[in-house]
Amino acid sequence: MRLMSPLLSKLAAIALTLILALAIYVALVAPVAHRLASADERIDEQRRLLGRFVDLLETTNVSPEGDEAALKSLNFVLLSGHSEQIKAASLQARVTKTADDVGIRLASLAVVPARTEDGVRVVGVDVQFQTDLQRLQALLLNLETKRPFVLVDALQVSRAPDASERPGRELDVRITALGLVGKAEAAP
């Protein structure tokens, strides 16, 4: 039986160590780094979205005391209603009516719980439907340009599995739309 020379055995050990380190990187480190990068990207998107809401609130000159006249001036930004549940229902109705107006039939619509971020209170809805590109564009334009403002926070579009059999419904679409409830209450 022949033994390898000491130099060759050291080189083989180094090569195996490098292969093992590369395998660990590919199997463990790279997926975690990718997940962290995508999480950072989502956080940046959320900050931009909240920044848009904060900018809208700051341009309306609402006094800290909650002056009634100043609150009425927010009607173009805030969803209508006296409670968060009513405002969520208002957002649902707005999204449903806008979809109906452009000829889209919604498959599902669910309320996203209200949340507070950076002093702003928002409520949202998740919507699923099938449509074509022109109707999708019309829906997005109508949601984000009419008042009160509704922001499309998330949009996922994929080809419908039965697209060739159903003209006008080639795309599976999921949207998360957010509406502004108001400034968050200060903690006591």
153 neighbors 174 (Cβ within 8 angstroms): no
User: Given this model, what pLDDT does residue 63 score?
Assistant: 53
Residue 152 lies in a domain: yes
Share of the chain above pLDDT 90, in %: 20
CA distance 131 to 108: 13
Number of structural domains in the chain = 1
Q: Which residue has the tokens 């998360």?
A: 176
Domain that holds residue 105: 78-183
Look up the CATH number of the domain holding residue 156: 3.30.70.60
Taking each helix axis as running N to C, give the angle between helix 84-101 and helix 133-145, from 0 to 180 degrees, rounded to the nearest 10. Answer: 140
Residue 165 lies in a domain: yes
Residue 84 lies in a domain: yes
Higher pLDDT, residue 92 or 43: 92
pTM over 0.75: no
The per-residue pLDDT for range 57-97, each reduced to its tens digit, is: 666 555 555 544 544 444 545 676 677 888 888 889 899 99
Residue 64 lies in a domain: no
3-state secondary structure at position 157: strand
Residue 6 lies in a domain: no
Residue 37 lies in a domain: no
Higher pLDDT, residue 159 or 163: 159
pLDDT at 123 over 70: yes
User: Given this model, what pLDDT does residue 184 score?
Assistant: 66
